[in-house]
Amino acid sequence: MKRRQWTSKEKLNIVLQGLKGEISVAELCNQHQISQSQYYKWRDRLLAEGPKVFEHGGPDRAELRLQKEVRKLKGIIGDLTVELKKSEFEDGGLL
């Protein structure tokens, strides 16, 4: 089998084709030149991690809270930087 990189979208499409059962897994793997063990690894990962897609309707609350805090802290850093530059200028540090 050729070694190649697969995008996440390609992997998903291959696994979904296999789950539909319209062709055998062996035939599907031959078409895409992957081993059956690779297909089953992708399938098992999809089935294990798939439920995460539906958790909390997107990013969890902790992640959203952290994103909000990062934005707030970046704003504070920007304000403090402006104040520092202003005080340096007023004190004659830049003259």
pLDDT of residue 54: 76
pLDDT of residue 60: 73
Residue 31 pLDDT greater than 90, yes or no: yes
Q: What percent of the chain has pLDDT over 70?
A: 91
pLDDT of residue 28: 95
pTM of the predicted model over 0.85: no
CATH node for 1-56:
1.10.10
Cβ contact 17:30 at 8 Å:
no
Residue 26 pLDDT greater than 90, yes or no: yes
**pLDDT tens-digit readout, 41-79:** 999 999 998 888 777 666 678 888 999 999 999 999 999
